[in-house]
Amino acid sequence: MNQPDKLKILVTDDHTLFRRGTMMLLESFDEVGEVDDAENGKEALEKLSESDFQLVLLDLEMPVMDGWETAKKIVAKHPEVKIIMISMHDSLQIISDLIEIGVHSYLLKNADPEEVHKAIVSVVNNDFYYNQLVSKALHKKVQKGGLEKGLARRGDISPREIEVLQLICQELTMKEIGEKLFLSEQTIHTHRKNLMRKTQAKNAVGLVKFAFQNGIAAF
């Protein structure tokens, strides 16, 4: 991973057994340092205001404040924090809507430990984790309709930005993209920032969706 420091992760779920089990799993990962927990979204937001977590594993259905409302507040108040939603629901509409508000990935609660680890590494390094569920949700979203109001079209994106976007869709890190295009990592970050501005995407998942909608990348 790019980060020299260990990750600090907040597990938010109202079921104590699942929450504690997930914490134990995360603590076994080399990249993870501190793991804390919260029983609901309200408690999670309080802890996010008090400490510098990089990632939140967030249950969809909880009392007091559910994952949906919590995710929207995290995106608004703590945009630097990554969100992986966890749930037993595999509704493509729910997944698509969560991605729309800024969630970085979506895992089922019966996901293998290996996938959880892969998702965390990918979300932290690449800003998203693109699994089969997310792929299906984005595919369905693209099939149902065209571009959202206000989004750029392919013609607004420069050839270099298209190259960067295609490599983002391949889940390459900013450093890896820079090496491939013989550009500095800072230049790639600038291209990514411009892509986010032009497409009004909230994160890399939004950029991937834009790429699919405009034929820049294929499913």
Give me the phi and psi of 172, to 5 degrees please.
-85, 150
Taking the C-alpha atoms of residue 157 and residue 104, their distance in angstroms, rounded to an integer, is 23
- Shared fold status for 7-140 and 147-213: no
* Domain range list for the chain: 7-140, 147-213
Sign (positive or negative) of CA dihedral 6, 43, 26, 133:
negative
Average pLDDT for 178-185: 93
- The residues, any chain, with a CB within 8 Å of residue 127's CB and separated by 6 or more, are 82, 104, 203, 204, 205
pLDDT in tens, 71-118: 999 999 999 999 999 999 888 889 988 988 889 999 999 999 999 999
Q: What is the pLDDT of residue 126?
A: 87
Task: Domain 147-213: state its class.
Answer: mainly alpha
Taking the C-alpha atoms of residue 138 and residue 145, their distance in angstroms, rounded to an integer, is 11
pLDDT in tens, 20-33: 999 999 999 999 99
Q: What is the pLDDT of residue 219?
A: 61
Q: What is the pLDDT of residue 149?
A: 41
- 7-140: CATH superfamily: Response regulator (3.40.50.2300)
Whether 3 has a pLDDT exceeding 70, the answer reads: no
